[in-house]
């Protein structure tokens, strides 16, 4: 299971953890993960969706262009970057896709 710790802004799979970016609308809970194709070029073909509403899809995706330097911010500031999606570095995203991770728990 993939776990996002909002207090430290670390995304962990087993014993490995990576820095992540999230937002106010990144809500604690357990979510199934689904690989979704997308057309927008900034997402490079896909996202890993964890929650859908009538107006939005919340997902894990590669860092949005221009946000790369935000990984150096303190943990608490990395919590308020996105609109609810979880941004990870490209190599982390590729690993999650390759390993077919299918469950996410977000913990305060």
Q: Collapsing DSSP states into helix, strand and coil, what is residue 20? A: coil
Q: Long-range contact list for 72-76, CB < 8 A, 24+ apart?
A: 75/7, 75/8, 75/9, 76/9
Q: Which residues contact 5 (CB under 8 A, 6 or more apart)?
A: 11, 12, 107
pLDDT-wise least confident of 14-18, 72-76, 93-97? 72-76
pLDDT digits (tens, 9 = 90+) for 40-53: 998 999 999 999 99
- The CATH class that applies to domain 2-107 reads mainly beta
Give domain limits for the chain. 2-107
Give the Cβ contact number of residue 100 at 10 Å: 8
Q: Model's pTM, two decimal places?
A: 0.95
pLDDT digits (tens, 9 = 90+) for 61-79: 999 888 889 999 998 899 9
């Amino acid at each position: 299971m993939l776990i996002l710790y909002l207090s430290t802004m670390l995304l962990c799979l087993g014993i490995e953890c990576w820095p992540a970016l999230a937002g106010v609308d990144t809500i604690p809970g357990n979510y199934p993960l689904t690989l979704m194709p997308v057309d927008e070029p900034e997402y490079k073909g896909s996202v890993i969706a964890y929650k859908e509403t009538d107006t939005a899809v919340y997902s894990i995706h590669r860092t949005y262009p221009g946000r790369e330097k935000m990984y150096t911010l303190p943990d608490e500031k990395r919590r308020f970057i996105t609109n609810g999606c979880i941004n990870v570095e490209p190599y982390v995203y590729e690993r999650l896709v390759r390993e077919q991770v299918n469950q996410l728990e977000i913990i305060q």
